[in-house]
Amino acid sequence: MKMPLTLNRSTCLVATVVVGAGLHTVRAQGQPPPDHPAVTVRGQTYTPRSILARNMGTPEDQSTAFPPHKIIGNIYYVGTRTLTSFLVTTPQGAILINTTYERNVPVIQKSVEQLGFKFSDIKIVLGNHAHGDHQEGDALVKQLTGAQVMAMAEDVPALQAIKPGGKAHPIDRILHDGDQVTLGGTTLVAHLTPGHTRGATTWTMKVEDGGKTYDVMFGCSLRAPERLTPQIVDEFNRSFAVVRTLPCDVQLGDHGAQYNMQAKYARLASGGPNPFIDPGSCKVEAEISEAMFRAILAEQSGRQP
């Protein structure tokens, strides 16, 4: 599996790729994370390696459009098979969450247009966390649309290090935990849920659909790195507690696998109830991530998980 060179510095793979690699050592293929510890959540067994593989898929999956679709209310899917992008439409323009890799921006643009929206109507760009597979395209989207890029303060240094083609990473508004982003009557709330990155952000909003109001959670990756520092341990302990308290009827994620996107999308065609309204599965990804975090911590501490 050949990895594009742009993968090597600023993606979810960063921890595994950079460790042991000299500055000028360019690896065509990132070293996968270890196949231990293993945890079983709701009957399914996971290892760090299997979770990353599930999240990223193949390079082709990362850059091939997944059929754009309405999720619920004014929220639409415009991402690739494994890297999510969400379009939130309002009468005053749209919000784009996660631009993914810069090379995917034309893919996202095409999906936006297929849904009947204008790419140039994007007014605000948000992200889930400062890794290249989610936010490398911010500068290009801003260049094409003039949108304002807003980011959690704790992720700003990592975002500033993401400079595709040398372009500075735009940051027009710095957010803090609990801040609101409002456009055309839609309000998103930024929740600081760090660990995967310092400023990893879980977004929540309310959506109207079929005369009812639902709580939507745009979950961010809570995937622990191989080596846990005391700071990262503190961050994750806080984040798992926060995520458990967030209201949620519709759970989304920065990778489609975090909310079973492909299976839910397939069920859309059957014409039954909206498969994305699924409060029972809202916390599954956090359960998997927390079980893995505790197992890695136990392994690192020399105890048996």
The binding site for Zn ion (CB under 5 A) comprises 12, 131, 221
The nearer residue to Zn ion, 146 or 157, going by C-beta atoms, is 157
Give strand pairing partners of 152. 175
Nearest approach, Cβ of residue 292 and Zn ion (Å): 14
Nearest approach, Cβ of residue 34 and Zn ion (Å): 17
Token reading at 135: 């936010």
Token reading at 7: 């993968």
The nearer residue to Zn ion, 12 or 95, going by C-beta atoms, is 12
Nearest approach, Cβ of residue 13 and Zn ion (Å): 8
The nearer residue to Zn ion, 191 or 249, going by C-beta atoms, is 191
Nearest approach, Cβ of residue 16 and Zn ion (Å): 11
Give strand pairing partners of 188. 181, 205
Token reading at 237: 């302990």
Q: How many CB atoms lie within 10 A of CB 165?
A: 8
Nearest approach, Cβ of residue 129 and Zn ion (Å): 5
The nearer residue to Zn ion, 193 or 221, going by C-beta atoms, is 221
The nearer residue to Zn ion, 183 or 286, going by C-beta atoms, is 286
Nearest approach, Cβ of residue 60 and Zn ion (Å): 19
Nearest approach, Cβ of residue 203 and Zn ion (Å): 15
The nearer residue to Zn ion, 12 or 87, going by C-beta atoms, is 12
In the complex, which residue's CB is closest to Zn ion? 12
Token reading at 21: 């690699």
The nearer residue to Zn ion, 12 or 147, going by C-beta atoms, is 12
